[in-house]
Structure 1
Amino acid sequence: MTLAATSETNAYDLSTCDREPIRTPGSIQPHGFALTLAGDLVVLQASENLEQHVGIAPTGALGQPLARVIGDAAATLLATELGATRIAERPLYLGTVCIHNACYFDVLAHRYDSVLMLEFESVERRASADFRNLYPLVGEFLLKLNDTNTTEAMSALAADEIRAVTGYGRVMVYHFDHDGHGHVIAESLADGYHSYFGQRFPATDIPRQARELYTLNRIRLIHDANYTPARLVPALNPVTGAPNDLSFAALRSVSPVHLQYMRNMNTLASMSVSLVVKGKLWGLISCHNETPCPVAFEQRTACEQLGQILALSIESREDANELEFRLDLRRIMVSMLGGLTQGANFIDNMSSVFPALLKFERAGGVAIIVDEHLLTYGDTPPDAQIRELVGWLSTKAHGDIFHTDQLSKVYAHGAQMTRNASGILALPISRIHKHYLIWFRPEVIHTIDWAGNPHAKEGAGPLGQLTPRTSFSTWRETIHGTSIPWHNGELELALEFRTALLGIALERAEQMAELAEELGRANKELEAFSYSVSHDLRAPLRHIVGFSDLLLESAGNDDVEKRHRFLKNIKESARLAGKLVDDLLSFSQMGRAALRPTNISMNELVRGCIEKLAGDTRGRDVRWEVEDLPEVRADATFIQLALYNLMANAVKFTSQKDSAVIRISAERHEHENVFHVADNGAGFNMEYVHKLFGVFQRLHRMEDFQGTGIGLANVRRIVERHGGRVWANSIPGEGATFSFSIPKELPV
């Protein structure tokens, strides 16, 4: 804070608290003195209380070697330690020195802001700091932590240990909530000290920049709140030309407003140890004493170590609790998603998991809005209010999720829904339509005990200046219109659930598209079937009837040859009609029969088909050229039928060739095998290739090449049921190549 005191009121202006240069106060606490040094240990700056401690005026020390200021023996000791130790930004204990055979000082050193700073803290003892008790203290503390199972219990243990080490009258551990208020979760008290356990200190008690400094420098000590600061001489850092940054200085002077705050709290000595969890200021261990109380460096070190151990333990415990919480939510979500995939109706599926939805987000009610459909479960606002809320939500650019635990603060009509909807979590489940899944949490009326009225933290003086608050008496506030806050895990899992819902919806849309495609194909096949029944099947039946009539008319005729010809035509027409009916039955069964995959030798299948076609090729010059073919995993019966149809087509459409060549080959790919049946026969016009695999589609006249027009449709259906593809290429008069693929992994 920038502090401006007036003679009339002696009040401090707190209007610019967050801009106070607390890192560059230009002074130190007077229970020690400070020197800044160049690399050759020549004094650049000295605190103005130097003469009080060592009898040399600060101006007289400037430009002098360190030995001239503190004596040869002390300087030699420090130079040796400095030469043997890497000095960084955090203060390091160099030793205890005696100056002028009278005064003893603990010496801390750190490099920061382009200078080496030595801090000399006056101590009563004549020996160096003794750190031998640190290890057993820490070891015992760790053992005790193993017997605790809550953050509060661990904090209480730390408070007791630190009070025993320091001798302070009150040690509090408080945790900053999501609004920055400090909640006292543990406390250790000496007799006669006021308790703040369970109370809250408002966030404004610790300005933003102070919190940042607490995160950077983990410990801060105030020896006596009634001290008079000792300024640095000269005021500006000779190297940087700016005020010294004392962020890591143990003797750094603090804000006069904070000192007044302490006195108002009847506290003259304090120490704060930061609890930093995952890089953020989680809370503080705050130590108070009603009288001045020095804390030696080794004691502060012990407290800092205990604070770090506590912070690590809190992090570990919070991580474990968070993991368990998220696992529970994920179990519920997985169970719900299993239920949502059972039926085809989205609304019915969602309503079937309503109880789990409430448990998933610890809600009192839930609503699903899809188009004009609104379903609710549990304790929810009336339908009209929910629809109005959805209208408001749809106007907000809230991304994939909207949540609040104080709806009335952000939504004008939220006050009408306070009882059962003080908090809401809304998931839009469509980018286009007003489709929402909304959870409702009821109002939780609760009280907060503050250490003083947070709304009267600063009181205005007669001229408008602001002063530190003077009251720390318990002030109780009742909170209305809020629900239990939404946990980060709940929000993140809700987003996952939304993604899963969209995935289910997309899968259903794809299934519907596939069904529509299949239906379209089935309709076309049905049209072709109708045409075949009305035309292809009718034709041989007409022939049968016609030749039967002719046979009857010639009953008295002795022309045996003519009657034989009529009977032959009748037989041929009946055979064709039967073949057509058989092929129709085979085609219809092909779509219903279950696949029975086995490992198939394609070489053996081809040899078997060639043997079956021997009768059709007898008396013809047909040369089979068969490559070595890979094995496949498929339904042997179906694949043999498809292969036979393609090879039979090749035999049929080469019937007008003097010398027929039919070549069967394969290509091996990473995910599939491709087979080709090529011939040098009649071929077809590629302009009509899209009709080739349709039911009852012919690209040649019946008089030229007989057939029912179902064989290639069967081939396509067989291959596609195996997850493969079928296609053809041709040059009219030169031949055709029919190809199909069989994947190495069959579809489930």
Structure 2
Amino acid sequence: MDQYRNIPGCRRCEDEPIHTPGAIQSFGAIVGLKYNDLGDLQVRIASENTRKILGCGPEQLFALTSFLDVLKDEIRDEMVARVNHTLQAGAAAQEETRLDVFQIILIFPYEPEIRLWCAIHLAPKPEGLVICEFEEYLDAFFLKDIRATKMLPESPISSMEVTPEELKKSTTSKSKPLPVIDIARQRKNKEFSSLDLFNALAQAQKQIIRCCTVHELQEVVVGLVAELTGFHRVMFYRFDSQKNGRVDAELLNPKASTDVWLGLNYPASDIPKQARDLYIINRIRILLDREAETSRLVCREASDSESPLDLTHAYLRAMSPIHNKYLANMGVRSTMSISIVINNDLWGLVACHGYGDIGIRVSLPIRELCRNIGECAASRIQQILMQQRIDARRAPTATPSSQHNASFIAASSSDLLKLVEADFALLSIDDDARAIGRLDPYPEAIAITSYLQTCKFTEIKSSDNINRDFPLISQRHEIKSIAGLLLIPLNFGGGNDFLVFFRKGQMKQVQWAGNPHTKKYQTGSECLEPRASFARWVETISGTSQEWTDDQLDTASVLGLLYGLRTPLNAIANYLEMALENQVDDKTRHILDRAQDASTSLGYVMDDLMKLTKLEDSPTQGSDETFNLNLTVARAMKGLQKDASRKGLELSVSVNEQLPAMVKGDPDRLKDALLHLTSYAFKQSNHVNVEVDLIKTKKNISMIGFTIQDNGPGKSEAELDDTFQEFEAAQDDDDWLFATKENSASPLTAEGRSTKADLALIARYLRDTNGQIRLHSEAGKGTIFTVEIPFEQVQTSDSHSRKLRNLFSPSLSGNRGLSPPGPPPSMKTPKPSGTGEKGKIAIGANGNGLGSPTTPQFPLPPRVSSAHLDAHAPQNGGAQQTNNRSSALYIDNDPEFLTSGLRLNVLVAEDSLVSQKMLEKRIGMRGHEVVVTGDGQECHDRFAASGGKVDVIIMDLKMPTVDGALATRMIRFHEKESNFRNQQSNGREVQTPRQRVPVLAMSTALVEENRFEYIQNGFDGWIMKPIDFQRLDLILQGVKNPELKRNSLYVPGQWEKGGWFFP
């Protein structure tokens, strides 16, 4: 209510000095005691009603030499001991109210003894002043007698319509009656003893401890408090992060009121901050009668009034006029509250209301009993909430293998978002933002991140209402959709890096107890008037998100700490390694070995946790090898042109002749980027043009430009923003980065393929290579992607022979040996296009170029052993000699597998050039004949043309154009079709049906739970990447040897070994 801040004479709730009211409630009296220089316990402050309560007015008390003079003899020593103990407690007693409650007896000449309850504590101010609160001595539990009936209003208060079900729910107690009270009702002597109080507390705690949910506990607590105190309405409030209160449980006496407040919300402004702080310190607050006159405090001398008496810990503290008006508007006469404090925060409040013309009095011992019940409830609530958090943490579904100690920790970015239930996130590293998930809406996310980059937060920040908690953002930008954020600083070492999660806003309806916005200032009134009605008022709220839970904040803390722990952990591992290099005894070496293994394993775990934020570059950097740029581009385009020709699409490719021949980089990632960009263009158009140019060369760095143009409908400005968001979401759906799920077919052939994952691959590749991408589009004219990538040139002696014009020589297709595999035979020498630019070679898709549908043959190379290769190898240097030396290295590592004698014709489908070379060499070294294809379509074509000469197929699952699963289904269909044709042959002799050719699935992401899916796709076995060639050799021998095949059958829990599904 800041609009009332500048009104002269207007006092708001938060402006009131509630801890120093200068008055007390009149049902008790206060005396302030302080030792003088002579050691006498003098009365320095007294309430003006002491004559009514103590039998002695303030003037008489000030005249006493010592307050001990009016106490009964046997009480005096006890009083001195209690006062001294209170003084010794000092500042430690100021954090929480713990009053010392006891009986006291006052005596006056010719007067009967006065027995009172006394509660003493040390006043925060002035220093050294001991406050004694005196109340009438009542020592009976609340009994449902005639007095209780008199405290009811003449007729029940009713201001809202409620259903019978709602009224029944609020008038039914869920707690069990306390036996100690039932017994007290049967005694003639209604007084309770200390043992009765102990029994009552024990019986109440027993019911609370048995509660298994927070709501069950809340319902039990309101029932217990209502039974002990006799209040007509007892409610259990629970506060949210903004300190708005909600009634979660209620017990109502229908004779007092029929209004049901269960489920209603109360705004945080109902309890100002200084009142909330006071609730945390003094956890029992009592108001006997809001209409009763208060009693002022009187001082002995003027010096005693220099500092107002701080009544923070006093039970008798007078209430503010605004609060009394608030209660009057509700028709409430007396109240009591019990604070529920968890981790020094006001988590909830048990509020008690009494109606009628007579206030409900609760004695000091019963109040202390209620305070203990509140503390027990807070402790049990904390236990339940912690147990819920523990139960919410899911255990792994299987035990990690020994080779991958933390395989269940690494996950995709979608798992990272699920950790804190966020919609998307942004990672800011060196003021460069990376998207995690789809930024929607994009402008809002960028605006908020730009503001956060200027703040340099060093602590975790969370908000479920950005416009409220970060007003500077809303002043500069219009934030409508995004409502919540969770910021994790990663600025170890003084940087400004952070990870921020976002949540979108949600529309929600809140039922308030009256309109919370109707506070008003009346002219001539000193105070701001509270709302007059507490009837249900429904408000629709927007711009807020779901609140961040404690568990999610803890998760954020763990993610932030990971970035600071790896450095010392690596140092420990290094020191252990240095220690192991020295001469140590066997026992010490054993201990050091175990310590190093533990630190290394922990390092792997932390690395996998770091991968959740995609900060590690190692999984995506790829190789830095020397490769032929022309060959890589040609192979990338060849597969797409075949597929485009088959679908009636047109793909034109032109390559600048001046491109460097050999460069350093990652050919597989370059090929994937070109494939995905071209496939993306085909989604917009039936004609795509690809141009590869040399933009500039500086020293040994060549900037290569790739332009992909379509003639589609083009993109609007909003669609351009969406496309760039796809690129910026570089960490989303990275199944190629982490082996979490299998990739499906390329966008060109599979409708369900995620375009976002493809563009993410491109974005990450360009980020790693310092490349750039530009997008130009006009409506009705199409879209142009321009990618610029720097490559380091490598000078080789045979670079001139590797120009593009020589890449399609037929000689390359017939010599497969141990040299890198050349293009398939269907690739023909391109001819310059008449419309091509000068210096470029244009490749069409009309059947005479790369996309020629010529049926490929299945070339089986001659069987060549390693000895034969050595005997015929050139004696001078060269590539062949180098390859032989590499082969010898592998032979030395696995000598036993060359003597198995088994010779198989192995067909391999693998799109990675590096993997192609490795598979061809390693399988060929074992005496098998190997033919490698670049994708599933080519593998099918080779198999169809082989004439039954293939013994086994090793099929990679993740390939462009046609993936492994689709290719296997195509092969199985071809087998059935061939056998059917043979059976329908017109010849007299029907050919024997061909046996099923086994197909092995190969991937990094094969999942044991999906094995039935692999079987349905036609696979007979599987092998995991990275390939264990010793295990692969055993599996291959099972093709001809049934006994060895049975030895490598599927065994639950040993999935990573690979094997056969069936005998």
Shorter-chain-normalised TM-score: which range? 0.5 to 0.7
User: What is the aligned partner in structure 2 of residue 101 from structure 1?
Assistant: 112
Q: Do 1:115 and 1:239's aligned partners in 2 also have CA atoms closer than 8 Å?
A: no
Deviation at 1:30, TM superposition (A): 1.5
Match of 1:311 in 2: 378
Partner in structure 2 of residue 564 of structure 1: none
Is 1:182–2:245 an aligned residue pair? yes
Query: Which residue is equivalent to 1:393?
Result: 449
SS of residue in 1 equivalent to 2:546: coil
Amino acid at match of 2:245: G
Output the CA distance in 2 between the equivalents of 1:61 and 1:38. 13
Q: How does 1:526-675 map to 2 (within 5 A)?
A: 588=886, 592=890
After the TM superposition, which of the residue ranges 287-296 and 406-415 deviates more from structure 2? 406-415
Does residue 362 in structure 1 map to residue 421 in structure 2?
yes
Separation in structure 2 between the aligned mates of residue 297 and residue 474 of structure 1, nearest angstrom? 35
Task: Tell me which amino acid in the other structure corresponds to 1:188.
Answer: L
> CA, structure 1 residues 590+493, in 2 after alignment: closer, same or farther (shift >3 Å)?
farther
Q: Distance in 1 between matches of 2:44 and 2:488?
A: 63
Q: Which among 115, 121, 125 is matched to residue 110 of structure 1? A: 121
Q: Measure, in 2, the Cα distance between the counterparts of 1:373 and 1:38.
A: 66
1:456 partner letter: T
Paired position in structure 2 for 1:289: 354
Q: What SS does the aligned partner of 1:44 have? A: strand
- In structure 2, relative to structure 1, the CA distance for the partners of 1:311 and 1:362 (3 Å cut) is same
Cα distance change on mapping 1:50 and 1:339 into 2, 3 Å: closer
Are 1:38 and 2:34 matched, yes or no? yes
Amino acid at match of 1:97: I
1:496-507 equivalences in 2 (<5 Å)? 500-501=609-610, 507=616
Indicate conservation of the 8 Å contact 1:29/1:228, yes or no: yes
Cα distance in structure 2, aligned partners of 1:96 and 1:267: 32
- 8 Å CA contact 1:444–1:482 kept in 2: the answer is yes
Q: 1:38 Cα shift? A: 2.2
Q: Which amino acid aligns with 1:121?
A: E
- Counting only pairs closer than 5 Å after superposition, residues 452-531 of structure 1 correspond to structure 2 as 452-462=514-524, 466-493=528-555, 500-501=609-610, 507-509=616-618, 512=621, 515=624
Distance 1:20 1:220 in 2: 17
- Work out whether residues 95 and 128 of structure 1, in 8 Å CA contact, stay in contact via their aligned partners in 2: no
Q: How far has the Cα of 1:162 moved from its partner? A: 0.7
Any residues of structure 2 matched to 1:729-744 within 5 Å, and which? none
SS in 2 for 1:467: coil
Aligned residue among 509, 516, 526 for 1:447: 509
Q: How far did 1:281 drift?
A: 1.3
Q: 1:502 to 1:483 in 2, by over 3 A?
A: same
The corresponding residue for 2:64 is 64
- In the alignment, the residues of structure 1 paired with residue 435 and residue 120 of structure 2 have an alpha-carbon distance, to the nearest angstrom, of 70
SS of 2:17's equivalent in the other structure is coil
2:234 aligned with 1:171, yes or no? Answer: yes
- Match for 1:268: what amino acid? R
Partner of 1:321: 388
Partner secondary structure for residue 19 of structure 2: coil
- Aligned-partner Cα distance in 2 for 1:388–1:255: 45
Shift of the 458–153 alpha-carbon distance from structure 1 to 2, 3 Å rule, reads: farther
Letter paired with 1:274? S
2:24 paired residue number: 28
Deviation digits for residues 400-448 of structure 1, max 9, x if unmatched?
Answer: 8886544677558997964xx55566889999xx999987655532211
* Letter of the structure 1 residue corresponding to residue 372 of structure 2: Q
1:122-176 deviation line (CA, Å, top 9, x unaligned)? 2355999732223322322233234422212101111110110011111111111
- Structure 2 CA distance for partners of 1:18 and 1:236, relative to 1, 3 Å: farther
Aligned residue in 2 for 1:741 = none
Under a length normalisation based on structure 2, what TM-score does the superposition of the two structures give? 0.42
Structure 1 residues 247-304: Cα deviation after superposition (integer angstroms, max 9, x where no partner): 1122222222222222222222111111110111112111111131111111111101
On the 8 A contact 1:329/1:360 being kept in 2, the answer is no
Letter in 2 for 1:320: Q
* Worse-superposed segment, 285-294 or 120-129: 120-129
Contact 1:183–1:201 under 8 Å retained in 2: yes
Q: What are the ranges of 5 or more consecutive residues in structure 2 without an aligned counterpart?
A: 2-6, 141-189, 564-608, 628-662, 666-699, 701-791, 799-870, 895-1063
Q: Deviations over 1:499-546 (max 9, x none)?
A: 64568856534995985699999x99x99999xxxxxxxxxxxxxxxx
What whole-Å deviation, never above 9, does each CA across 1:362-419 have from its counterpart, x for those lacking one?
A: 3567899999998967xx74xxx4266436533542668886544677558997964x
Q: Residues 194-343 of structure 1 correspond to what in structure 2 (within 5 A)?
A: 194-234=259-299, 241-290=306-355, 291-325=358-392, 327-328=393-394, 338=407
Amino acid at match of 2:199: P
Alpha carbons 1:222, 1:271 under 8 Å: kept: yes
Q: Give the Cα–Cα distance (whole angstroms) in 2 for the partners of residues 27 and 114 of structure 1.
A: 20
The letter for the 2-side match of 1:17 is C
> Which among 218, 221, 230 is matched to residue 155 of structure 1?
218
- Which structure has the larger Rg over C-alpha atoms? 1
What amino acid is aligned across from residue 94 of structure 1 in structure 2? Answer: F
Q: Report the secondary structure of 2:289's partner residue.
A: coil
Does the CA contact (< 8 Å) of 2:72 and 2:106 recur in 1?
no
> What is the CA distance between 1:239 and its match in structure 2?
6.5
Give the AA of the match of 1:42: Q
Question: Is the 2:209–2:380 Cα contact (8 Å) retained in structure 1?
Answer: no
Change (3 A) 1:92 1:463: closer
- Residue 70 of structure 1 and its aligned partner are, at CA, apart by 3.0
1:123 maps to: 137
SS of alignment partner, residue 236 of structure 2: strand
Distance 1:446 1:243, change over 3 A: same
Q: Deviations over 1:294-318 (max 9, x none)?
A: 1111111110110000011111112
Aligned CA distance change for structure 1 residues 322 and 64 (closer, same or farther; 3 Å): same
Q: Distance in 2 between matches of 1:509 and 1:414?
A: 37
The answer to whether the Cα contact below 8 Å between 2:244 and 2:265 also exists between their aligned partners in 1 is yes
Q: Distance in 2 between matches of 1:360 and 1:157?
A: 34
* Matched AA of 2:117: D
CA 1:454–1:580 in structure 2 vs 1: closer, same or farther (change >3 Å)? closer
User: Contact (CA 8 Å) 2:45, 2:297: kept in 1 or not?
Assistant: yes
Q: Give the Cα–Cα distance (whole angstroms) in 2 for the partners of residues 592 and 106 of structure 1.
A: 93
Determine if the alignment matches structure 1 residue 92 to structure 2 residue 100.
Answer: yes
Which ranges of structure 1 fall in alignment gaps of 5 or more residues?
Answer: 2-10, 342-348, 531-573, 597-748
The 1:158–1:583 alpha-carbon spacing in structure 2 relative to 1, beyond 3 Å, is: same
2:797 and 2:408 mapped to 1: Cα distance? 40
Q: Deviations over 1:723-745 (max 9, x none)?
A: xxxxxxxxxxxxxxxxxxxxxxx
* Greater RCO, CA 8 A, separation 6+: 1
Change (3 A) 1:486 1:589: same
Structure 1: distance between partners of 2:313 and 2:881: 92
- Percent sequence identity over matched residues? 25
Root mean square deviation, CA, Å: 5.2
Amino acid at match of 2:330: M
- Find the aligned partners of 1:198 and 1:513 in 2 and give their Cα distance: 57
CA distance in 1, matches of 2:201, 2:893: 70
Q: Secondary structure at the match of 1:133?
A: helix
SS in 1 for 2:373: helix
